[in-house]
Amino acid sequence: MRVAFIGIGNMGRPMAANIAKQGHELYLFDANPAAAASAARASGATVLGSLAEISVAEVIVTMLPDGHVVREVALGEQGFAATAKPGTIVLDMSSSQPLLTRDLGAALARRQITLIDAPVSGGVARAVAGTLTIMIGGDDAAALAKVRPLLACMGGSFFEVGKLGAGHAAKALNNVVAAANFAVLADALRVADRYGLDRALLVDILNVSTGQSFISTVVMKQAVLPETYDTGFALGLLAKDANMAAELSQALGCASPHIELTGRRWAEARDELGGSADHSRAILAWAKNS
């Protein structure tokens, strides 16, 4: 299959590499040409000089910061929709806003381009291993059947969650739960410090008790307690995902005070440390401002 992959960041690079490993004809594009060139040398892919060359692809994969960027890359003045062939399938694997995804899907459909949303969870390590969890939304069963082998290059768990945009909704809700868990665990560690409890011991207790989670077993143990703060996931991205869930709940008329509070807390940490900081450093910002 001829695949164009747009967005060669921490997640996009290993995801694209796994597509190439399975023998697909891979083309790369990134706003940073050096990132695309480096990934191409490592994977044997071809670098696209511009999005105008996208017509070589049967499938376009986007792994970009959010739905606004995806829309600009697709429909902007230099967007790929102008040159993509009718029948092209777009897999948006970014963490995009669900309602924006619906609108983009309708706009692309008018050009005979099919959009499927397929955001991922699992972090860089699972992106490298090709075992990501992928949440899939779409309205075209035939298009989904065509790209399943491609998704299998990158993921190990697959959930078809509904119509177009449903995958992005599921991803936002997953991430806001993780963000809330991190925030409350950060509070718990500060209380433990103040009382005189050993924070590492408290995390060990949580990990064999009802407070156990991915945050306690992986993020706290591997990045926060050893003070390496090196999960590879940017604070700005998690703040964006938490806010995305809050915006979705508001748009749907849902009362979700915990989601809204989580969005505010992560926005505070982002404003304090900058969006490019590792998300595990949020605990430092909250401790400073407590």
What CATH number is associated with residue 257?
A: 1.10.1040.10
Domain termination site, one of 134, 163, 192: 163
Give the model's pLDDT for residue 290.
75
Interval 77-128: pLDDT, tens: 999 999 999 999 999 999 999 999 999 999 999 999 999 999 999 988 899 9
Query: Regarding beta strands 120-121 and 132-137, do their DSSP bridges make them parallel or antiparallel, or are they unpaired?
Result: antiparallel
For residues 264 and 159, state if they share a domain. Answer: no
For residues 102 and 245, state if they share a domain. Answer: no
Burial class (CB in 10 A: 0-12, 13-18, 19+), 279: buried
For residues 139 and 159, state if they share a domain. Answer: yes
Give the model's pLDDT for residue 232.
87
Instruction: Give the residue-averaged pLDDT of 168-187.
Output: 97
Burial class (CB in 10 A: 0-12, 13-18, 19+), 44: exposed
Q: Which residues are catalytic?
A: 171
For residues 81 and 44, state if they share a domain. Answer: yes
Residue among 166, 177, 113, 171 at smallest CA distance from 138 = 166
Based on the structure, what is the number of domains in the chain?
A: 2
Instruction: Calculate the CA 213 to chain-centre distance.
Output: 19
**Token couple for 48:** 């696209």
Q: Is the pLDDT of residue 192 over 80?
A: yes
Q: Is the pLDDT of residue 239 over 90?
A: yes
Instruction: Give the residue-averaged pLDDT of 162-190.
Output: 97
Domain termination site, one of 140, 163, 186: 163
CA–CA separation, 194 vs 157, rounded Å? 41
Q: Is the pLDDT of residue 289 over 90?
A: no
What CATH number is associated with residue 22?
A: 3.40.50.720
Residue among 87, 89, 146, 88 at smallest CA distance from 117 = 89
For residues 15 and 146, state if they share a domain. Answer: yes
For residues 177 and 250, state if they share a domain. Answer: yes
Angle made by CA atoms 69, 256, 168, in degrees to the nearest 5: 30
Q: Crossing angle, helix 166-195 and helix 98-109, to 10 degrees?
A: 160
Q: What are phi and psi of 282, to 5 degrees?
A: -55, -35
Residue among 63, 266, 276, 247 at smallest CA distance from 172 = 247
For residues 61 and 140, state if they share a domain. Answer: yes
The amino acid at residue 28 is L
For residues 265 and 178, state if they share a domain. Answer: yes
pTM for the model:
0.92
Domain termination site, one of 163, 190, 209: 163
Q: Crossing angle, helix 235-251 and helix 257-273, to 10 degrees?
A: 150
For residues 129 and 210, state if they share a domain. Answer: no
Q: Is the pLDDT of residue 207 over 90?
A: yes
* Domain around 224: 169-289
For residues 93 and 7, state if they share a domain. Answer: yes
Give the model's pLDDT for residue 236.
96
Interval 3-50: pLDDT, tens: 999 999 999 999 999 999 999 999 999 999 999 999 999 999 999 999
Instruction: Give the residue-averaged pLDDT of 228-255.
Output: 95
